[in-house]
Homo-oligomer: A and B are copies of this chain.
Amino acid sequence: MHQPKNLQSAGLKSTTPRLKILSLFENSKERHLSAEGIYNILHSSGEDVSLATVYRVLTQFEQAGLLLRHHFESEKSVFELNLGKHHDHIVCLQCDHVEEFYDTAIEARQKKIAADHGFTIHEHSLYIYADCTKRNCPNKR
Residues of A at the B interface (CB closer than 8 Å) are 71, 73, 90, 92-93, 99, 101, 103, 105-106, 109-110, 113-114, 117-133
Inter-subunit contact B125/A130 (CB<8 Å): no
Inter-subunit contact B99/A106 (CB<8 Å): no
Copies of this chain per assembly: 2
Inter-subunit contact A129/B133 (CB<8 Å): no
Contact of A71 among B71, B126, B128 (CB under 8 A): B71
9 contacts across the A-B interface (CB closer than 8 A): A92-B119, A101-B113, A105-B109, A114-B128, A118-B132, A120-B130, A124-B127, A125-B125, A125-B126
Known: A106-B110, A119-B132. 11 other contacts (CB 8 A): A90-B117, A93-B122, A105-B106, A109-B109, A110-B126, A114-B128, A114-B130, A119-B128, A120-B131, A124-B126, A125-B125
With A71-B71, A113-B101 given, is the CB distance from A128 to B121 under 8 Å?
A: yes
Inter-subunit contact B128/A99 (CB<8 Å): no
Which 10 A-B residue pairs are closest in the complex by CB-CB distance? A119-B130, A118-B133, A124-B128, A120-B131, A126-B126, A121-B130, A122-B129, A106-B109, A105-B109, A123-B129
